[in-house]
Amino acid sequence: MQFQDLPHTSSTRDFYANLPPVQPFREVVNPAVYADAPGDWYVMVTDVTNSTEAIAHGRYQDVNLLGASSIIAVLNAVRPLDVPFVFGGDGASFLIPPDAFVAARDALLGVRDLAVQRFGLDLRVGSVPVATVSAHTSLRVARLQIADGYFQASFLGGGMSYATELVKLDSAYRLERSPHLAKADLTGLECRWQEIPSCCGHTLSLLVAAMPSSSIPEEQIYRNVLQAIEQIYGLSDRYHPISQDALRLSFHPRKLMAEIKARSPSLRLWDRLRYFLRMVVENMLGVTFMGLRLKLGGVDWGAYKQVICTVSDHQKIDDILRMVIAGTPSQTEALQAYLERECQAGQLVYGIHVTDRALLTCLIIDRRHHHLHLVDAADGGYTLAAKDLKVRLHRKMSNWNSYINLLRKQRQ
């Protein structure tokens, strides 16, 4: 994609910040709470190419960290502007106003350079004008309130998925070079918690996509899924993948290595060692402050773990329903049975990845009142769930084509 100077002001700059908050979570499936994305904005997307292969080699934490790095780099670059985004496991998606495009572009290309130089991975970065998306499908945005002062973006209409596919399939929408490549600012990116074991044996990443061909409205399909999950697991606090009792800061170099590689001044041994020692000291202070339930620097450390649970993104919607769920093996079996019935009935397709723990990556803009915690299931999470969904979708399309061919033969 060729770069050009973009306007420095936009009458829609505060579009997202001015959206009325939506709650509770089940309301984000209601089309009435969404607003059309401004036509002069841009969809920006990132994803780690060949992420499935990287995960097969045990690099799921690196893949997750690069997806999270995209988000923190953009937030730091456009601050204090509030822009909508969603974390997808191996990447992220954003809506960016025109006056912030250059800053966001340079930040993402900086992360792409870091992915290559420090992780040996390729981060695909792309941009599609909302006007281009809107010519083919709708792109609608809502602002979910997950706690006082904390908000999470939601997307419906198919626009985000359409833009993502354009970036993957058409090189014209990829951002390959920049006139002035800047180093990405990853201040606030932290990956310091141990993997969080499931309370009941299973932690799963779930993706559900309503089928456009279904006679049931998309909203109702998602409502039915959420209702089924509630019937199987109970209310959201019963299947939340993070519990404050299970949160433990890590001191193991291997567990901390992803952040060390991303944020140490260089890959020289001394720089990495110095950054590791700094992390150890900060983690020791964190353990002490939380254990003593201190209130320091405007942070209530005694309540900090509970806040993490509250402001984690364990359930969201960006054209498809994304959830990380903790439960028993029998609950997983019941959920899969329900989803398979609905899939066979042509209402939806789904993908699921089952493990026994969750992975947490933190974005700390301000530890007092502006931080978000990105959740995925360990060992591949959303990335492998997406692979599972694509297999079902391909099978469904193949069966449909076979059915059409059979009808044609019968009519001959």
Q: Nearest CA to 181 among 90, 114, 127? A: 114
Segment 82-88 shows an average pLDDT of: 94
Which pLDDT score is estimated for 212? 86
Which pLDDT score is estimated for 370? 85
Longest dimension (CA), the chain: 80
| Residue with tokens 């009808």, as numbered in its chain | 407
Kindly give, in sequence order, each residue whose CB lies less than 8 Å from that of residue 357, ignoring residues fewer than 6 positions away: 195, 196, 197, 198, 203, 377, 378
Residue 100 has pLDDT above 70, yes or no: yes
Segment 51-80 shows an average pLDDT of: 93
Least confident of 49-53, 183-187, 213-217, 274-278: 213-217
Segment 144-150 shows an average pLDDT of: 90
Q: What is the pLDDT of residues 326-378, one digit of tens each?
A: 999 999 999 999 999 999 999 999 999 999 999 999 999 988 888 899 999 99
Segment 139-158 shows an average pLDDT of: 93
Percent of all residues in the chain with a pLDDT value above 90, rounded to a whole number: 81
Which pLDDT score is estimated for 215? 85
Positive or negative, the CA dihedral 96, 101, 103, 109 is: positive
- Which pTM value belongs to this model? 0.90
Which pLDDT score is estimated for 369? 82
Residue 183 has pLDDT above 60, yes or no: yes
Which pLDDT score is estimated for 398? 61
Q: What is the pLDDT of residues 250-278, one digit of tens each?
A: 999 999 999 999 999 998 999 999 999 99
Positive or negative, the CA dihedral 343, 346, 348, 350 is: positive
Which pLDDT score is estimated for 407? 38
Mean pLDDT of the chain: 90
Contact 174, 126 (CB under 8 A): yes
Residue 3 has pLDDT above 60, yes or no: no
Instruction: Please report, as a single letter, which amino acid is at residue 124.
Output: R
**Chain center to CA of 165:** 16
Alpha carbon distance 119, 68 (integer Å) = 14
Residue 409 has pLDDT above 50, yes or no: no
Segment 61-70 shows an average pLDDT of: 94
Residue 178 has pLDDT above 80, yes or no: no
Which pLDDT score is estimated for 5? 39
| Residue with tokens 């299973």, as numbered in its chain | 202
Residue 10 has pLDDT above 80, yes or no: no
Q: How far is CA 59 from CA 62, 141, 293, 352, in A?
A: 5, 32, 35, 19
Which pLDDT score is estimated for 170? 87
Which pLDDT score is estimated for 408? 46
Residue 311 has pLDDT above 60, yes or no: yes
| 131-158 b/e (C-beta count within 10 Å ≥ 16 → b) | ebbbeeeebbbbbbebeeebbbbbbbbb
Which pLDDT score is estimated for 179? 62
Residue 410 has pLDDT above 50, yes or no: no
Q: What does the H/E/C string look like for the chain?
A: CCCCCCCCCCCCCCCCCCCCEECCHHHHHCHHHCEECCCCCEEEEEEECCHHHHHHCCCHHHHHHHHHHHHHHHHHHHCCCCCCEEECCCEEEEEECHHHHHHHHHHHHHHHHHHHHHHCCCEEEEEEEHHHHHCCCECEEEEEEEECCEEEEEEECEHHHHHHHHHHHCHHHECCCCCCCCCCCCCCEECCECCEECCCCEEEEEEEEECCCCCCCHHHHHHHHHHHHHHHHCCHHHHCCCCHHHCCECCCHHHHHHHHHHHCCCCCHHHHHHHHHHHHHHHHHHHHHHHCCCEECCEEHHHHHHHHHHCECCEEEECCEEEEEEECHHHHHHHHHHHHHHHHCCCEEEEEEEECEEEEEEEEEECCCEEEEEEEEHHHHHHHHHHHHHHHHHHHHHHHHHHHHHHHHHHC
Residue 399 has pLDDT above 90, yes or no: no
* Per-residue confidence band for 180, with pLDDT thresholds at 50, 70 and 90: low
Residue 402 has pLDDT above 90, yes or no: no
Which pLDDT score is estimated for 395? 82
Q: Nearest CA to 158 among 36, 40, 323, 70? A: 36
Pairing between β-strand 21-22 and β-strand 140-147 as defined by DSSP bridges: parallel
Query: What count of residues does the chain have?
Result: 412
| 48-81 b/e (C-beta count within 10 Å ≥ 16 → b) | beebeebbeeebbbbbbbbbbbbbbbbbbbbeeb
Which pLDDT score is estimated for 406? 38
Q: What is the pLDDT of residues 198-249, one digit of tens each?
A: 999 999 999 999 998 888 889 999 999 999 999 999 999 999 999 999 999 9
Which pLDDT score is estimated for 366? 87
Segment 30-48 shows an average pLDDT of: 95
Which pLDDT score is estimated for 297? 86
